[in-house]
Chains A and B, each alone.
Chain A
Amino acid sequence: MGRKLRIPLFIYYKNKLIKMSLSEAPVEVRLTIKEINSGQEAKRKLSSLGIHKDDVVIKHNDSKWGPVILENLTVQSNKLAIGRELAKKIVVENER
């Protein structure tokens, strides 16, 4: 139901725990990774680059296409660029 609300979405996200894909998640908010629904290989790649389930991350860019820039707060890391298609398969939840 969250998807139908357009403008108050951001406020809504900020106050409710809600699951969404990383590609549509709000920026500069602490997000917890809940599921990674990608193929085996991508999972391995993500895990070796330090992205795991339950990590707290921040998304840094808000473009509608192109990769997502991610910073991992749980594991100190450099920024990561994650392709849009893959970002759609990562489910996150905002942290209050």
Chain B
Amino acid sequence: MAREIETVCITTGPAEVGDYVTLNIGPIHPAMHGTLRVITKTDGETIISAEPEIGYLHRGVEKLGENLTYKQFLPLTDRLNYCSAICNNVAYELAVEKALGIEVPEKAQLIRTIMMELARIADHEVLVGILGVDLGALTPFFYLIIQREEIYEIFEWHHGARLTNSMGTIGGVEADLPDRFHQKWPKMRDTIRKANDETDRLLTHNRIWMDRTIGVNAFCADDALNWGFTGPMLRACGVKRDLRKDEPYLMYDQFDFEVPTGKHGDVFDRYMIRMLEMEESIKIIDQAYAMYQKLPEDAPLMKKVPKIIKPPEGQIYHAIESPNGELGFFIKSDGTDKPYRIKIRPPCYMVYQAFGELVQGEMISDLIACLSSINVIAGELDR
């Protein structure tokens, strides 16, 4: 069906635009994940073309960064991807540490790893839960959101904030893992697995779920690379690429974990990748925690850094694998205490620019499924 309409579109061309109905979805719409707007041209229920419009949450983070010192900019990075703020914090810290040419102590690296992987689990849980809600499956959301709350409790114990974490600082982390973490983690590992298992049993082989996700928005690997896809979106297309394996940072080269890949790049594969990645994250946390426990209790948490951070003149780019894909920070320093130019490379920005191509020829309800499966976060999209 979709193929037929596509050919009709090509033969008639834009001259007969009047035949189609222009439908505006968003920016204020419960299914549009914040402040996203898509202008679609539809023929009945089928999308002929869709054009996303962004910028509704533009706060000028990059301009602000040029006028703040390196340490003052850290809390702003929370406001990029607020589902996994810790990954943004660590990405920024690592970029500045690269510019300074320092490496943080082992214990700080392990704490960062544990917290980042917890944030990854929380992010994926939100995505799978919301994807279910958008497709009409409300129950899994509750199983997953309870686990997310538990993870946020650990964040709160460690650095006092649940959502906008501002974890750590340039040169390390301020606080050791909270005492309660040691009792909580062994229990929580099982509850996360149990919640994932229940979600899996509710969704994966569910007839309605399969009908709504399998084959929807399938995308091929070559196109995905051409459009600059990274992270789970690219892995769903069958490209085995994960910066934790390919360009290891922190201590990821010492952990043993798999990189799950899909085949068809459809919504179902994206969902499955996320489900499998949560399991891998649990494995990483277990290994990191075992390494952490072998370290002496008074091991240093901070590298000595000057009070006013002034990286030497030069420019660096450092990227990490955030839950959405490659999250990079480009910093150009002119030798003063403020970054001369700071550029954030948000992962969902590159994916969302191909949105028109992803949903072309699909149904309007599949557009919502596609949007949820991409995990577009307006905060990092618009900066």
Partners in one complex: no
A contact set with B: CB distance below 8 Å: none
